[in-house]
Structure 1
């Protein structure tokens, strides 16, 4: 079985404000994430990466308290501004303890925009680790993961979606995005098929 070239696990937006949001905000997404146990599955995958000295990267949202740079030019932007969601220093932005970050993990923080490469040091962090393959986990298959996958492909990375470590705001929407967009940008497989392809 061919191994992935220089892989890193990239965990998208697994944060308390999205996994355990206030009533009404992202409740459908949090329900899907819980039903699919993406935190537990991703934590297990992350432990395997760390055990093999492979990078684990957390991509997180942490808006400035003054909301500088945020624009109401999308539904998500309007919601975040109106309800002061995912503010730096608030409980919203915390990563579940089960996922880390561990001392060897990398964290890339985004204050504005909708995708992980926008306005961040993510690309530089990956290239300095000589990463060639991104294994994506986390949320959401609605917006963040398709955007991350597309931007990664444009930058020359190979991309794998650990499908059972991801969720969207509905089961039907998740399946549609995996089949019709993410399936065109990534190799889609469960975490159990990712592990045998990791370098020892």
Structure 2
């Protein structure tokens, strides 16, 4: 990619929800701790403010399981833990987005009841195309599964992808570094938030 402004960018905030970011609620306390240590919410909030100020889309991709957990299966560790703890259900405190992130009235919220990635069973792709988005700037959690899955699916759909690396976290520093260096770097431009801001149009 060049150093020109990103074409038609949107900020995609992945799974920044209380049931994931708060250690006492999260199925991955390590992820919650790393997100707090890296100030993922604060840094992402600053990035979101810059996008909104330029009239660019801000999208929250969240998990909201049905209250009866229909469509959920224990065929992964995350699915099994959600079923075991009856967590991340629609209307619960678990699914709430931290107040610092919004959502603001202009933001888009894309929720999924099943699956592990943001495009699965959601209107995310349709909404992005209706907003004429060409570049996805990713922030949030986690660099273990959600962000690599989101990046891979975005590339498959023809989007360019940028990872605002200092606005992301994984289950441990070692896991984060491995995934960023060995997978995400193959799918996305890896850059700090300040660089993203300098390349926003408008």
Which bin holds the TM-score, normalised by the shorter protein? over 0.9
Tell me, in whole angstroms, the C-alpha distance in 2 between the residues paired with 1:106 and 1:45: 15
- State the 1:24 CA deviation: 6.8
The Cα offsets for residues 30-86 of structure 1, whole Å up to 9 and x where unpaired, read as 000000000000000000000000000000000000000001100111000011110
Which of 83, 86, 111 is matched with 1:84 structurally?
Answer: 86
SS of 1:41 mapped into structure 2: helix
Which of 111, 114, 123 is matched with 1:112 structurally?
Answer: 114
Query: What is the root-mean-square deviation of aligned Cα atoms in Å?
Result: 0.9
**1:166 corresponding residue in structure 2:** 168
Please list, as runs of the form range in 1=range in 2, the aligned pairs for 1:120-159 lying within 5 A after superposition: 120-159=122-161
Q: 165-174 vs 13-22, which deviates more? A: 13-22
Tell me, in whole angstroms, the C-alpha distance in 1 between the residues paired with 2:169 and 2:23: 15
Which of 5, 15, 18 is matched with 1:16 structurally?
Answer: 18
- State the 1:129 CA deviation: 0.1
SS of 2:30 mapped into structure 1: helix
- State the 1:26 CA deviation: 1.5
SS of 2:100 mapped into structure 1: coil
Query: Quick one: structure 1 residues 117 and 24, their matched pair in 2 at CA, closer, same or farther if it must change by over 3 Å?
Result: closer
SS of 1:98 mapped into structure 2: helix
**1:97 corresponding residue in structure 2:** 99
The Cα offsets for residues 90-124 of structure 1, whole Å up to 9 and x where unpaired, read as 00000000000000000000000000000000000
Tell me, in whole angstroms, the C-alpha distance in 1 between the residues paired with 2:131 and 2:23: 33
- State the 1:23 CA deviation: 6.0
Please list, as runs of the form range in 1=range in 2, the aligned pairs for 1:49-60 lying within 5 A after superposition: 49-60=51-62
Tell me, in whole angstroms, the C-alpha distance in 1 between the residues paired with 2:172 and 2:7: 33
User: Do the aligned partners of 2:25 and 2:94 also contact (CA within 8 Å) in 1?
Assistant: no
Unaligned runs of 5+ in 2: none
What is the TM-score normalised by the length of structure 1? 0.98
SS of 2:99 mapped into structure 1: coil
Query: Quick one: structure 1 residues 80 and 135, their matched pair in 2 at CA, closer, same or farther if it must change by over 3 Å?
Result: same
Tell me, in whole angstroms, the C-alpha distance in 2 between the residues paired with 1:25 and 1:132: 33
